[in-house]
Amino acid sequence: MPGAGTDKTKRWRAGPAPVVVLVEPQLGENIGAAARAMANFGLSRLRLVKPRQPWPNDKARIMAAGADRILENAALFDSVEAAIADCSFVLATTARAHDQAKPVIDAAEAAAEMASHVAAGETVALLFGRERNGLENDEVALADRIVTLPVNPAFASLNLAQAIVIVAYEWFKRTSGGSLPFGMPQKSAPAGKQQLLAFFASLERELEKVEFFRPPDKRETMQINLRNIFTRMQPTQQDIQTLHGVIMAIAEGRKGPARGGVLDGDEAEMLRTLLAEHGGGRVPKERGPVRGLARLLRRNPTDAERALWEALVNDRRFAGRGFKRQTPVGQHICDFVSFPLRLVIDIIPPDESVSSAQARAEKQAWLRERGYKVIKLSSREIEADVAAALEGINRAIGQ
């Protein structure tokens, strides 16, 4: 399984490339980090001149993070002269001016010059100095070019692996054509003007409902600005479908028209009346239908239920009391219930029929037999003064 950018299922890219020479590296960790930077950008030949710590080095292997083959093939030398003896073109990297009459180039120019020499079959070397003080004057004198970078003059020293990765990046970009390994997937075609215009019409229709385009004399300008926002995005067909779904979800709610249900307040009241006349939604020895019915009722509150619930959840007196809405208790569905308080709030609709009132009385008796306190509130009472309804509930809880 590939890790974060490391995929052992893919072929290791190898080809003619410069040799990296580390002069007297002090820490195994830095050698390992240098090997990792080399592996990132297609450099595989590493030469070490008198490393301070014993070699091979376990800390180097750990820091290499999988670039073990570079460390395993690393060659040891006793001097810089020996390390570059077979090289015809050498570049010395440094952050300090060494006052030597030698061309000074940046990493991109270095990559261009190295590429031509490597293509001619020559061996090219990149010299990197010690972590503490870099290359000495006599070591820089062995090079054909000096490579430096445009850095902060007050803080010009780079970590060894950082310096290598910049030069290696320019080399790899030059020789690989600079193509990126992947791009944004084209999973959907660009949206056509017909689809965009249909989306604009839908969006503007919903905005009209909430009187967004005000004042009227600014309507045309606002429409143009709004359309330009989406046009600048250059949306795909899928983008427009998603945006259309977002607008409809905001406008209609989760399962239908506004406020989250498929029924308006009057229709929700009629649904409850119908259920009450047929036994309050009781289904003997079956829990599934009762729970499904409870979900339907929660998504389609009456105006009174909605008003009481919003007031209840926003009143600190009832915080933590565990109130739930349209929840099964046994085979009955209660408008509001608090299991911790053993309390049920029963909302009585206006003009309740005799059969509905009888079913409600049976439900309340069933609840009281099982230790529940039942608070009866009329929907008209809630809609007229929800604050007074909350006061009544609070008094009942305190009793």
User: CATH number for the domain including 389?
Assistant: 3.40.960.10
Is residue 247 located within the same domain as residue 374? Answer: no
Domain count, the chain: 3
Cα–Cα distance, 371 to 25 (Å, whole number)? 81
Asked whether residue 231 is assigned to any structural domain, the reply reads: yes
The boundaries of the domain holding residue 80 are 19-176
Q: Please compute the mean of the pLDDT values over residues 83-90 and round it to a whole number.
A: 97
In this structure, what is the dihedral angle of CA atoms 397, 299, 307, 393, given to the nearest 10 degrees?
-10
Q: Please compute the mean of the pLDDT values over residues 55-59 and round it to a whole number.
A: 94
Tokens 């490579």 locate to 147
Domain boundary among 151, 176, 201: 176
78 HSE (CA, 13 A, CB side): 0
Q: What is the tens place of the pLDDT at every residue in 288-303?
A: 455 667 777 777 788 8
Write down the pLDDT at residue 156. 87
Asked whether residue 10 is assigned to any structural domain, the reply reads: no
pTM for the predicted model, two decimal places: 0.56
Asked whether residue 188 is assigned to any structural domain, the reply reads: no
Write down the pLDDT at residue 261. 56
The 3-class SS string of 339-364 reads CCCCEEEEEECCCCCHHHHHHHHHHH
Cβ atoms within 10 Å of 265's Cβ, excluding its own: 19
The residue type of 293 is L
Cβ atoms within 10 Å of 136's Cβ, excluding its own: 14
Q: What is the tens place of the pLDDT at every residue in 185-207?
A: 888 899 999 999 999 998 998 89
Write down the pLDDT at residue 121. 95
CA angle 92, 173, 123 (to 5 degrees): 45
Residues above pLDDT 90, as percent of the chain: 54
Is residue 222 located within the same domain as residue 130? Answer: no
Asked whether residue 55 is assigned to any structural domain, the reply reads: yes
Cα–Cα distance, 95 to 155 (Å, whole number)? 10
Is residue 32 located within the same domain as residue 84? Answer: yes
